[in-house]
Amino acid sequence: MKLRHLMLFITVILSIVFSCSKTNSPENPEPGHLDNQAITDLINDEYANLLGDPSHYGTEDTISGGTFNKYDIIPIFWYRGIPYELTKDLDIDIHGDTADVSFVFSVSGPFRIFYTDSFYMDSVIKSYSDNVTRVARFERVGSITDPDRGWRLRGLSMTQVRSAGSGVIIDSVLIVCQDTTFFLDRNYFEHIHRVTDSLNEIVQIRQNDSFTIVLFSSGDTACAFLHFSWPNNHKRGILAETQHGIHRRRFALGDTSLAEIIIFTFDAIYRRTLFTDTGSYYSTGYSVPVKVLVQ
């Protein structure tokens, strides 16, 4: 009788162990792992344009000129080269039916400037190194049996870009459209904004309408640029400094290949980075998504 009881006890224990092993095996992963994978897949697929890698690197662009006689060189053409190192860390923190995702990128590569001085044209290659951060919030709005286990994007902060030691500060940006004005200050850049599937809550600009960017900077003297990018496209324009720390320019979204969501990056680069051949690279920037309204 005792032997029968002992064998029954061992059988029950082995069944429990086998059941737990099967539940947590790669073929039967835990729910938390499934949720992490579902959110990661959404980031890399449906929301890739919105939450993908920083988009203002690796493209050669030109800048308009001007005379800067008090500096060592006059830059004619510059670009951040394709990164030779880009690391991305995703931290997914799930609490019930809410998941906060922290994105941290470290981006390094060559920063090349073609310039002229009084006698000849030359170039210099410096190094850029930026830290890029953003936060996204997902909520489970459906069932775990739904595609992506019911997770949808419901919150978004703007992307912050900063090189270590940068003394350049972007205080705020105005986007002045024909019928509305968007005011983006540092609270706007750092706040997690509520969004829905339509993304109607983000900045919206009508295709072909002109708009003016006004960027207010402080700290170290900077040159300011607007990058606008979408898959396989990247354009850039310099903002004229009309007063100390006030940079502005008028633009229009006239390209017929525009995606529905494009990325604006407001880019402020330390002036000595561009106008001396020895000045180190310092930069501060913010990226915001923009919804293009087709007329």
- pLDDT, tens only, 189-222: 989 999 999 999 999 999 989 999 999 999 999 9
**pLDDT tens-digit map of 17-61:** 444 444 444 455 676 789 999 999 999 999 998 998 888 887 655
- Continuous H helices in the chain: 2-23, 31-44, 48-51, 186-190, 271-275
Q: Which of 87, 81, 86 is nearest to 59 (CA)?
A: 81
Type of residue at 153: L
Q: How many helices (H) and strands (E) does the chain have?
A: 5, 17
The pLDDT assigned to 291 comes to: 95
pLDDT in tens for each of the 295 residues of the chain? 554 554 544 454 445 444 444 444 445 567 678 999 999 999 999 999 899 888 888 765 544 433 333 445 567 788 898 899 999 999 999 999 999 999 999 999 999 998 887 677 888 999 999 999 999 999 999 999 998 999 999 999 999 999 999 999 999 999 999 999 999 998 999 899 999 999 999 999 999 899 999 999 999 999 999 998 988 888 888 999 999 999 999 998 888 788 999 999 999 999 999 988 888 999 999 999 999 998 7
Kindly report the length of the chain.
295
* Residue whose tokens read 């990018």: 229
Q: Which residue shows structure tokens 């919105």?
A: 50
Q: Which residues contact 266 (CB under 8 A, 6 or more apart)?
A: 170, 173, 213, 215, 224, 225, 226, 285, 286, 287, 288
User: What pLDDT score was predicted for residue 57?
Assistant: 80
Place of tokens 């850029």: 128
Burial class (CB in 10 A: 0-12, 13-18, 19+), 280: middle
Q: DSSP 3-state assignment of 41?
A: helix
pTM (2 d.p.): 0.84
pLDDT at 254: 82
What's the gap between Cα 64 and its chain centre? 25
How many other CB atoms are there within 10 angstroms of residue 284's CB atom? 23
Distance separating alpha carbons of residues 223 and 237, to the nearest angstrom:
11
User: What pLDDT shows up at residue 18?
Assistant: 44
pLDDT for the residue numbered 220: 93
Instruction: Give the helix/strand (H/E) hosting 228.
Output: strand 222-230
pLDDT at position 201: 93
